[in-house]
Every structure is written in structure tokens, then in C-alpha cells.
């Protein structure tokens, strides 16, 4: 959002509609570029062992597809292609 705000003010500054860009005083936060880590097979087995049985299918689908919880909960049969 801040980036858009800064860009908008920059354009109005270029066209002469404003004298200065107040958004230029805002410092942008750095993006998190940490490495993504996957569970090892052993970690997956240990996690599933302590997980209540009704949740196992949902967690397995999430682990093996990379879907977020909201994506998985909004799935419909028309979305599934075996």
C-alpha cells in the first residue's frame, strides 16, 4: 500500500500538482527473503502420529499440495481432477 501511495505522489509531483512528496519520508520495510523449509519425512510421520485422526486427511492434503487452510476449506468437487 505504501509503495502505491509513494508512486502516486511521485506522479503528481512530476506533473507539478504538488510541491513535495510527503510519502518519501516513509521508510519501506524489508521483505522477508528467508529460505522456505519443508518437513522431513520423519517430521511428517511424527506430526501425523500425534494429530487427531479426523484431521489427518486435511493435513496430508495441505502437506502434499501446499494449499493454505482457506484454499483447502473452500475446495469443491469440481476443483478436484484426479
Cβ pair 80, 71 in contact under 8 A: no
Whether residue 16 lies inside any domain: the answer is no
Whether residue 73 lies inside any domain: the answer is yes
Cβ pair 23, 9 in contact under 8 A: yes
Whether residue 33 lies inside any domain: the answer is no
- For 47, the domain range is 38-82
Number of domains making up the chain: 1
Whether residue 28 lies inside any domain: the answer is no
Whether residue 12 lies inside any domain: the answer is no
Cβ pair 52, 32 in contact under 8 A: no
Whether residue 8 lies inside any domain: the answer is no
Whether residue 62 lies inside any domain: the answer is yes
Whether residue 53 lies inside any domain: the answer is yes
pTM over 0.95? The answer is no
- pLDDT (tens digit, 9 = 90+) per residue, 32-79? 888 888 889 999 999 999 999 999 999 999 999 989 999 999 999 998
Amino acid at each position: 500500500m505504501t509503495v502505491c501511495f509513494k508512486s502516486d505522489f511521485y506522479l503528481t509531483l512530476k506533473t507539478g500538482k504538488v510541491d513535495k512528496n510527503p510519502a518519501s519520508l516513509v521508510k519501506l520495510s524489508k521483505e522477508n527473503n528467508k529460505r522456505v523449509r519443508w518437513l522431513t519425512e520423519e517430521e511428517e510421520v511424527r506430526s501425523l502420529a500425534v494429530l487427531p485422526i479426523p484431521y489427518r486427511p486435511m493435513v496430508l492434503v495441505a502437506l502434499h499440495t501446499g494449499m493454505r487452510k482457506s484454499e483447502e476449506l473452500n475446495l469443491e468437487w469440481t476443483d478436484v481432477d484426479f
